Amino acid sequence: MMSEKIAGGVTAAAGFRTAAVHCGIKLEDLDLALIVADKPASAAAVFTTNLAAAAPVLISKQQLHNSKGIAQAIAVNSGCANACTGKAGLNNARKMAEVLSNTVGCQLDLALVASTGVIGMPLNIEKVSKGIRKASHDLARDTHGSAAEAIMTTDPWPKETALRVNTPKGSFVIGGMVKGAGMIEPQMATMLGFLTTDAAVNSKQLQKALSEVTEETFNSITVDGECSTNDSVFLLASGVSGVEINEKLYEPFVEGLRQVCRTLAQEIVRGGEGATKLVTIHVTGAQSHNDAKRAARALANSLLVKTAINGGDPNWGRLVAVAGRARVSFKLSRASVKIGRTVLFDNEEVFSNRETEAAEHLSGDKVDIVVDLGTEGKHEATAWTCDLSTQYVHINADYRT
């Protein structure tokens, strides 16, 4: 498979248009986006594992169930999560879907909704409805950048990417956009994500591919260990390219989707609230994949590890301590820690004279850490996180006020 990164974000794939407006949920800035397929498309989604799931999550789940994995339009607002809002919230989410379907001219079951923002605040459905109607007049393929801006909350920048995949049967495109900066934890990956492709993929294949790739990408990131109420990732396939994803092309499709999702997942972490560094944590020497992933998650979520990285302190002892308490198979006598290219601890031998070299690596904006669990197992896993700075505290202390 040959692939190349291209411009266009969520509308790089043929058969999709977007629009974005300011409808008044936020005091200023864009706060509502539409993603519309020219025709009904195969659809798949993954949602939050939080038991306090928000109204739009519940409604979109039901819509996809009713349509048997077909969708045509998505409306997403920022500034208000429409979460923990009871029956009124569910009614507003349904109304949002109804207005969307009536406005773009698709069946009701094919209209999906998503929201992000403050929990517990009632959604002003009148403003959202007017925004949907207004945005429908601006649907185009070149408005993907504005759509990526409209879904942001505390994100420092919009996040989008796209990839063209070339196969012997022709080329297809996968693109997408995400939002996420805080309340990020790999229990779906606290975020909203919207992915599109012009490959021809049936709904069953699409769901299988999205679930598989999500586990390796969006479920492998963390900013603060918090799982939100609104996490959703949607994937729509228009089929416009004419490239049918059969058994031979399934793996190239999954790999292209993996590349797109990995890029977007890393962007979420890089743009985490108060983040100054993108941190890649790779765990090796595990007895099982579950052990490797569990240890990687524990290391990525450790406040002591994240603050040490922020301060440029090559404190390998914190890494060993977290690996040892991660409730996985661990053998201290054969464990090792590497920061960048520098081994600081190996087989119970400490290399204190190398800490200056490791500290220099920590001063950059990309940090790589490898922890071997010492069990001589063959399994490994990777997690992406960021450092923890005082800015994170300021952002979240002042979030509503």
Q: Where are the beta strands (DSSP E) in 57-191?
A: 70-80, 111-118, 159-167, 170-179
Distance CA 98, CA 105 (A): 10
What CA–CA distance (Å, rounded) separates 190 from 180? 7
* Residue positions counted in the chain: 401
Q: Report the candidate in 389, 145, 376 with the shortest Cα–Cα distance to residue 276.
A: 389
Amino acid letter, 398: D
Question: Residue 256 in contact with residue 174, Cβ under 8 Å?
Answer: yes
288 vs 45: CA distance, rounded Å? 28
Distance CA 58, CA 91 (A): 11
Using DSSP bridges, classify how beta strands 232-237 and 2-5 pair: parallel, antiparallel or unpaired.
unpaired
Q: How far is CA 83 from CA 19, 48, 117, 234, 275, in A?
A: 24, 12, 9, 19, 26
Asked if 32 contacts 23 with a C-beta cutoff of 8 angstroms, the reply is yes
**What is the set of active-site residues?**
190
**Alpha carbons 250 and 57: distance in angstroms, whole number:** 28
**CA neighbor of 84 nearest in space, from 129, 51, 42:** 51
Find out whether 79 and 118 touch, Cβ atoms under 8 Å: yes
> Does the CA dihedral 8-10-11-15 come out positive or negative?
positive
User: What does the DSSP assignment read for 5-73?
Assistant: E-S-GGGSSTTEEEEEE--SSSSSS--EEEEEEEEEEEEEEEE---TT--HHHHHHHHHHHHHTSEEEE
